[in-house]
A and B are shown apart, each in its own frame.
Chain A
Amino acid sequence: MRLRDLLVSFGLMWPANALAIDPGETDPAAIMAAVENRDAGDKQVARLQITIKDKAGRERTRVVQSRTLDFEGGTRQLIIFESPADVRNAGLLSVDFEDGSKSDDQWLWLPSLNKTTRISSNDKSGSFMGTDMSYSDMTKKDPSAYAYTMVDANAEVGGEACWLIEAKPITDKEKSETGYMKTHMWVSKDKLLAVQSKAWVIAGKRLKYTKMTDIKQVDGIWIPHKLTVRTTRDGQLESQSILHFTDLKLNQEDVVEADFSEQRLRRGL
């Protein structure tokens, strides 16, 4: 489930009452295992504004509405485009499997053709909808594929106590799928959220900085409503993506199985 998994994979959706890790914990593997094995909530609806900027300051904004529903072994997500006007009512239905060996499925509804088209992609290091985020950024990580190191058990971000943990992929598959040499994550001890991260991108020796802000509780779960990703090279900003969630709600009873069908895609907004 793409957009929700995006938040999950950065450790952003955590039940406020599920802090099972002692703030004095210094074992990075234990902390990251907790990050990967959390309850992330279900039946989510949200409106998402995606803004992509390049280094010249040119930007493009798309607004989509999304619905998310878990199923046994995976997540379904429906995205309907609200703007820009020329793609309004186009829709994307995706099914993501927790089992990494299974290919995720995506169906795109294109009004001009009046039919749905299945999309297949194996390149997880590729960009998500033209943003600075990759599909692998939005995929749950297998802790056994990483070597974790505690860089700083007493780091701070904006005055908030954090663990600074380094995650280094130890398998070629993981390295290839993420495209990263390593990642530094600042995990908030209070909220148990990775409030920011820095990834060393192999291609072009770039750095990718991610920051979560506007963190609010929704149904008792800490949820950042804004995610900013900046890609830099040689200290120069290359591009930036901002994902801004509004009207984000969890446990919506009207999110049902029938929402994730071709008929619903055809109906549009």
Chain B
Amino acid sequence: MAHEGESRIFRAWASIVLRLRPLFGLLLVSIMIGAVYQVSTKLRLETSPEYFAQGSSDAYETLNTFRDDFGRDDMYLVLVEGDVFTTPFLDQLRTLHEELEGLQVEFEGSQDEVAPTAETETTTAAEDDWGEDEDWGDDDWGEDEGWDDTEGGSVIEEVTSLINYRQTEFSGGAIQVRGLLDDPPAEAELTALRAKVLADKGMVGNVIGAEGRHAVLAVRSQVMSEDESREVQRTLEAMVAAHNTPGFEIAVTGMPALETNLSSTLLSDMRRLGAGAFALMGIVLFVLFRHPVGVIAPLVVSAMSIAWTLAAMATAGVPVTLISNIIPAFLICVGLGDSVHVISVYRDLKTEGMNNHDAIISAVGSTGMPVLFTTLTTMVGLLSFRFASTQGIQEMGTAAAFGVFCAFALSVTLIPLALSGLKDSAMKRPPEKADNDFVDKILQLCTQLSATRAGRIRVGVGAVIAVIIAAIGISKVNVYHNPLDWLAEDDPVRTSMETLDEEIGGASNFVVVVENDSELGVKDRELLLGLEALDAHVRGFIHPRTNQTLVSSTMSLVDIVKETNRALHEGDEAHYALPADQRGVSDALLLFESAGPDDLRRIATADLRKTHLTARIDWMDATAYLPLKDHIEEGVATLLPKGSTVTAKPTGTVYSLVTVVGALIGDMLLSFSVAAGIIVLMMVFLLRRPSLGLIAMIPNLLPVAFILAFMGFTNIPIDLATLLIASIVIGIAVDDTIHYMHQYRVTHDATGDRERSLQQALDHAGRAIVSTSLILSLGFSVYLASSMANIQRFGLLVALACGFALFTNLILVPALLRTLHGDDRATA
């Protein structure tokens, strides 16, 4: 029989679980085994920022098309410090260059190549462009196993350094396209070589530092998965380590290295700190419940929710990203919150003298409905991410919503199972602490603050002051995404990226893809003149923040034509210019293609209708590139020939990052607004009174404002790591509010007595709210020990959010209810 405020459905469910304990136990264990298998074998990690752009604007598509056409734009940069223009250095550089070209990495279970059968053509080639060749046949290669188990072959597409830097020159009465150091220079030639190299605008800032103390080997690998990238980087670092000697000091850097380092550090920190957080939460749970089941059961609920969710992601092929890596932390909040509410009420009921069986059923009966509603509101908040334009956010929302439901299902299933083995006397609150313990004192204090009219005024004035201060703080919040800042200051990749910026030029790049559909395509001299002007425009950019140039070097088809034209005029520098007429341009490119066609493939498509201008730029935070983006877009609009045949699109890693960060901020606002709107409606439905629903939103929104204000005052930026903090805060706050308001409403419906209802809400939900807040705050404080700034910030913000949500609920809700919600008993 259901007691006051208990749900018949959840009582019935608890009874079934207790009756069929072995069946449910077996079911949970079986699902867990399957989940662990899926996670350990199929879960992927994806840290590239452009992943978030999938399905959004055409920035991602443009970047992918660019990579399809010209290969990866981001490269490993092997930075070597030493006296470059000496024979020992150059000899060692040559050896390293050759070894890097032959870098062999064996991937487990990848490289599944297939024969070029008709089926392959259908799936990989563009429509019917390949299928017209009736002579090819599809069965003549026998059992073609692709690359099969043949040893050798390199995953490296290209290595560019001083050794092979392209020289189109007139030498020995002939034009040749060759590497700068195809022939090792004699000792006597080194001075001249140094002068030549340091005067070359293409090489300085690209493969050599301006002082001649740093050389760079730019290593372009194939497009690979995160796991493969990690493997490549491990092999690459091992290879270069063997060459690392005094006078030839090497560091591996560049965007792929940064991404790999970020994901490795992220994984290791999350594992280490996740374990620490679990341990600390376990200690707090023990202090609260003084019983192993009270410790283990909530932690297992959280752990299983995480495992099931990750397994679902793995099964659906959804990777863990820089955003969705918060899911485990989020599910710890949710899982512990749900479980602690059930166990708290269970313990209270047992303390009141109820036997174990009845206490379980009654606890599930009375907490099941509010836990279900907290689940639904949180799920709605997360599913609102489906409105985001970016695929990464959409996936995160869906996965986390699934996880929240798992936490709910496990809380009303696993917790009863775990508690069922206890004796009637177990887990009661100690008699001496049955009343007025520390938690009770806090609860009473918070409630009494608004007990009088003067108190309510004080609370109101305090809230208004807090809101004003929060508004000031929010106005100071910056959008600033710089993953390099996440790493420790002495992190090798970070220090080498900084050295690279200072000594060579940036590790980032900005690309403009230009296409011309006219007969001449990119050979069109007018177009090349436009590109030349754009090149100068890009190089001349002065960043408003630093008042310095940002672009260290550029590369385009114009360079090739100019080099070739100079070579055609026997190296005369006066002819380092575009030829005077169209035929001259066509001839120069014909010559270049005859002498160095592989280089042409990197800069123009097969049909010579598409090319690109690539600028190497210094590393900055993503939003700092916005002025450059505007500058380049202005140049594209004004300097390239006007006409329907010419199109130009910016792309590259940096452009993708800038676009993604911009889109993500918009997504955050949209998702948060949708979530807040739907949560209001659900609150009204749950509390059955519009007034109560609206009142309930105030303590939900204030913690969000406080957290954003805290970020503004402490200079914590909104970036990929903190982007969803608002949604997490409202998720935490809503849970507290629902439990509190549910108890209040149940009692108020029965008695109409506001003060009694407030006391009842305090007694039943208050302790659980304080407990969960305390557990989560302490648990997330562990993340402050992370080696990565983004994880530290995230931990701090969540810990604070729990505190803010707790106090706005405990202080503001009673004040608001006393002010705005009528006392039916009194009015009657």
Residues on A lying within 8 angstroms of B by beta carbon are 52-60, 81, 84-87, 90, 92, 106, 108, 110-113, 117-123, 126-130, 152, 155, 157-158, 164, 181-182, 186, 196, 198, 200-205, 207, 209, 211, 213-214, 226, 228, 230, 232-237, 239-240, 242
Contact = CB atoms under 8 A, between A and B. Distances in A.
Contact of A87 (B178, B590, B596, B601): B590
B155 A205 contact: yes
Interface in B65-103: 65, 68-69, 101-102
Interface in B88-140: 101-102, 111-116, 120-121, 124-127, 129-130, 133, 135-137, 140
Interface stretch (B144-152, B281-289, B447-455, B743-751): B144-152
Contacts of B568: 110, 113, 117
A130 B150 contact: no
A130 B519 CA distance: 19
B227 interface: no
A201 B147 CA distance: 9
Interface string B169-203: 00111111110001000000000000000000000
Q: Is the interface of A mostly helix, strand, loop or mixed?
A: strand
Given A57-B125, A202-B154, A232-B113, 5 more contacts: A117-B568, A126-B598, A127-B597, A214-B135, A239-B606
Contacts, number: 199
Given A110-B591, A126-B598, A205-B153, A237 B176 contact: no
A228 B140 CA distance: 14
Nearest to B586: A86
Contacts of B172: 120
Interface string B139-169: 0111010110011111111100000000000
Given A126-B597, A234-B113, A237-B125, A60 B608 contact: yes
Nearest to A211: B136
Interface of B: 65, 68-69, 101-102, 111-116, 120-121, 124-127, 129-130, 133, 135-137, 140-142, 144, 146-147, 150-158, 171-178, 182, 222, 519-520, 523, 568, 579, 581-584, 586-588, 590-591, 593-598, 600-601, 605-610
A126 B596 contact: yes
A121 B176 contact: yes
A127 B601 contact: yes
A92 B609 contact: no
B595 A121 contact: yes
A130 B593 contact: yes
Contacts of A122: 176, 178, 182
Contacts of A92: 594
B173 A118 contact: yes
B146 A203 contact: no
Nearest to A107: B174
Contacts of A87: 586-587, 590
A166 to B, nearest CB: 10
Given A86-B582, A205-B154, A240 B130 contact: yes
Contact of A120 (B111, B120, B176): B176
Given A59-B607, A237-B121, A242 B222 contact: no
Nearest to A224: B135
A85 B594 CA distance: 17
Contact of A202 (B127, B153, B581): B153
B156 A130 contact: no
Given A60-B606, A228-B135, A235-B124, A204 B222 contact: yes
6 contacts: A90-B590, A118-B174, A120-B176, A204-B155, A235-B124, A239-B606
Contacts of B140: 157-158, 186, 196, 211
B587 A53 contact: no
B142 A155 contact: yes
A17 B101 CA distance: 46
B102 A202 contact: yes
Contact of B175 (A120, A230, A234): A120
A234 B142 CA distance: 18
A54 B610 CA distance: 12
A5 B506 CA distance: 46
A204 B182 CA distance: 22
A226 B152 CA distance: 31
Given A57-B125, A87-B587, A120-B174, A158 B607 contact: no
B116 A232 contact: yes
A5 to B, nearest CB: 16
Contact of B111 (A86, A228, A234): A234
Nearest to B98: A176
Name, among A56, A226, A242, the residue most crowded by chain B CB atoms within 10 Å (CB to CB): A56
B174 A112 contact: no
Contacts of B150: 181-182, 200
B579 A119 contact: no
A164 B142 CA distance: 11
Contacts of A201: 153
A86 B601 CA distance: 20
